[in-house]
Structure 1
Amino acid sequence: MNRIPVTALTGFLGAGKTTLLNRILREQHGRRYAVIVNEYGELGIDGGLVVGAEDEVVELNNGCVCCKVRGDLIRVVSGLIKRKGGFDGILIEMSGLADPAPVVQTFFFDDAIRQRTRLDSVICVADALHLQARLADSREAAEQLAQADTVLLNKTDLVDATGLASVEAAIRGFNPTAELLHSVRCAVPLAALLDRGAFDLKRLHLDSSPDNANEPPRDERPFRHISVSLGRHSHGIDCVSLHVEKPLERSRFLSWLQQLVVEQGQDLLRAKGIVDLAGSDRRFVFQGVHMTMDTDFDRPWGVDEVRDSRLVFIGRNLDRRGLRESIGHCKTDS
């Protein structure tokens, strides 16, 4: 059974989430989507479409469905996936003041939903004009950005080239792994946003670490560590990237990862990794949100592929030195 892809849509108040959803709900794209608005108050899709009753479902003339959640998200999703005809995808718009993690974790923890759906990606719509101000004064804006796989930088027509470069740098500081797209009034092809497979371990990709001209030769440095400094308005969020060039001993590494989740899971906003485990000819991949960690053995390493381990952690209160030292103990003795 093909599982329905679910896209979580986040972003601070006024960024343009509703504008994006309006496009999906109105456009004759030939696909059938269910749009869930996961917040209290009247539905802000547009003035002519207000859902009054709790969990009421509205059929739209382009084949899409819109509903509002005021209670149990699991119950609403369970009802939608049982509807005749099925859907090409489910989109969930979260409150502009909400941490997306609880919604994301729903699709990992509930077995029935996980059998019928798959979390596809987390998209953060960001206001190019006001994002930096929101990052300076809002913990929620920082969390939304840090947990995204795709950042749709909207309202780019309201800033000049210098301002655009500055806000892009701020985004990269909080989340260097997310794909960054530009838009005006969220005018971006839906294919660029949907069915991305960002939570599919088989499609996980991490760029190689940046070149470091001043580092020792390859054979003299067992691993490399990069940290992004975010400044005084970071709300304590850091991105720590680890690059280990020697194979990792399986039991040591799995224990290390488990201990990290247990001890720092509440502070881990996102985690991703492609790992070379000693004795295995397949890549070990993982990614997670907070206490939720999905792991699997992926495809075999390519014949000409460099076998190394690349891990990225985004979160609060990360012990950068401790992570560097402790993962070093996971290397094989040889």
Structure 2
Amino acid sequence: MRARYQKADISVTCAQDSKNKNHSHYDVSVSVPITVVVSHRPKEVLEVPFWAEGATFIFDQTSAMTVAEGNAPSDVRVYASEPEVFFRNRDCHCCAIREDLVCSVVRATRRAQLPNQIVIFLDPTRCDVLVAISTILSSVEITRRSSLDAVLVHVDAAELATRLTTGGEVIDDSLLPAIAVADRFILGNCDNVLPHIEQQLRAELMGRSGFAKEVFGAGERCGDGGRLQAWHVAPEVRSVEADHPGGLSTVVLRADQPLDEDAINEWFDWMIASHASRLFRLQGTVSVQGNKERTCCHGVLSFAGSHAESTESVTCSSESVIAISGVGLDGDELMARFAETIAS
């Protein structure tokens, strides 16, 4: 199905049309960079000056129509992609994957003229941002043709900067999904933020935490290697890197044994209840007693273990590894509580 909006002359194609198997022209040696934009303002996406010439944009249907009613350039190609979620493993909510994004990206990269860039717009009020990001990182169909280049997030810079200067919490529950996957920020609504505060914001959230490096693979890797891979192919977090007291840090917890399922679930409940508003990411692999084949995630934010694409049984490691990135975390407290869990 194809519809054309004459005012902006934008071609809007349903994601389901992307299942055309005729792709003999595709050059497997070329990887198209994908940029994800998380924002409530779709019209602004096309106005950002750093998109590559010949970029392809993927919006949800509502946002695509909003863009089409604006003054978009006539040569912009837009795919309308309504969220269509299915699960890799049955009854496993955290194995969700956005089939519509897979179809849209595949269609865009099977064209005779490859796009120089794919820009995916995500409205956090209409979709689960983490499911979309994990799909881009883990779908074999996507990764063989393209790769995640960056995630841009519109945030309220004034609010965040104010929290930094007053010593309050940097993030809250509503911003967790956005910040947890972002390596660059478009600072929206920041007319009242002084330049040095903006610089401090960038330094805190990107530079001193090393979080962008943790998510997108630069820097040293911790020795736990593949056991700390979220969503199959995402890079591991780095090892413990504590900053100034009350600052941003990563704590890695390890246990060379399976854990009691009730005890570890109780520990997760405590972790979330005590520290949810200060967590950037909770990630790892956990082996639990009574379920040696448990290789999937616990379903907490981006917490995930590396697991197979099929439903076949997989031998689970006897080692449990958990990495926690956040603001003002007390490493000694976390380790002590985790030690109690292991001993229970």
What is the TM-score of this pair, normalised by structure 1?
0.49
Higher strand share: 1
What is the TM-score of this pair, normalised by structure 2?
0.48
